[in-house]
Amino acid sequence: MASSHFLCSHHVFLPSYNSFKKSQSHLSLFKPNGSSSFHSNSQFKRIRAMASDSNTPTRRQVEVVYNPEERINKLADEVDKEAPLSRLALFSPCKVNVFLRITNKREDGFHDLASLFHVISLGDILKFSLSPSKTKDSLSTNVSGVPLDDRNLIIKALNLYRKKTGSEKFFWIHLDKKVPTGAGLGGGSSNAATALWAANQFNGCLATEKELQEWSSEIGSDVPFFFSQGAAYCTGRGEVVQNIPPPVPLDIPMVLIKPQQACSTAEVYKRLQLDQTSKVDPLTLLEKISTNGISQDVCINDLEPPAFEVLPSLRRLKQRVNAASRGQYDAVFMSGSGSTIVGIGSPDPPQFVYDDEEYHDVFLSEANFLTREANQWYREPASTSASTSPSNFSQSIE
């Protein structure tokens, strides 16, 4: 088996197929058919045959046990022999915008923004395995509705890496999805950044982090942020990333509340009226947060008014969270273009989320701020809690 020490930085990885198998992350899950199941349900096939000795009429019963995974196991072992690193599992965290100012509309149709981005502890798990294919990557996931072809930012990122470096490596990838889509949390952008990082590890770090960050802006405006250390003041379309020390304590708890409905980012920006946005200098907001911490007056999101037009129920949700908090939260705000409402200061959702039938299917998660060490990727916290509905949220955080 390949040595587990060929890494440019420390990661959570799986050095052998047996240990990979024991962790319930079977290599067969990375099959090219894009299966979305993440638990092995393979069974041995038993074939009974009758054999007879020519010298005696006595027949002997022979049982042949056939393992349908044996062929792919051998194939993975062959890949292991040829590569110093063949399997890798990485945490792919999402982010919140503590404040988000929209400052200008550009000639190219995009908007200039100024925002404090911060990584948080809610995230997906991406598992990579080298594929013997020389023509395509194969992606599977645990949820429905996620594209598995080159519409997915993970595949886009791997294609981009090969284009930039000339690498000929292709992958089986399994995405264990926990971050909701259409949430304003940058889950897809984080997946893309994580895929670029992983591809670079498999290729012996052909690119620097700075190069990965620069290339990633070709995938999406939020992707470069994830190559910061976890907290950054972002400008331009979001791709101009100024790494900053964490402006607030990392252990501040928060709760994320996302209704089933998503906000179309394009529709939100279409309804944005620049003359009605905040006029507060974003650098002033950053200074206040660094000095005094997070409070409601600094958590400004210029995309809230147009998002509330697109999804009026989101305005009502924020109002109800504010009214019910009674000082429980230091600030309540929408992240990105929505539709996640963030309550900073407590991991607990307000009681009405449990009691009101209207909110029985919202996504709930507690989280904290998160950073990463230099030359290392983000590490999954020891315990994280995410839930798809209030009915099982309490169980998920025990």
Positions marked catalytic: 95, 222
C-alpha to C-alpha distance for 154 and 193, rounded to whole angstroms: 8
C-alpha to C-alpha distance for 156 and 286, rounded to whole angstroms: 33
List of residues 6+ apart from 217 with CB closer than 8 A:
223, 224, 239
Bond into 339 cis (ω within 30):
yes
Residue keyed to tokens 């965290």: 93
List of residues 6+ apart from 389 with CB closer than 8 A:
360, 361, 362, 363, 364
59-66/45-52 β-pairing:
antiparallel
DSSP 40-67: -----EEEEEEEE-TT-S-EEEEEEEE-
C-alpha to C-alpha distance for 100 and 114, rounded to whole angstroms: 6
List of residues 6+ apart from 196 with CB closer than 8 A:
157, 160, 161, 212, 215, 216
Helices (H), 132-186: 153-165
Which residues make beta-bridge pairs with 111?
105
Q: Please name which of 279, 361, 348, 263 lies closest in space to residue 314, comparing C-alpha atoms.
A: 263
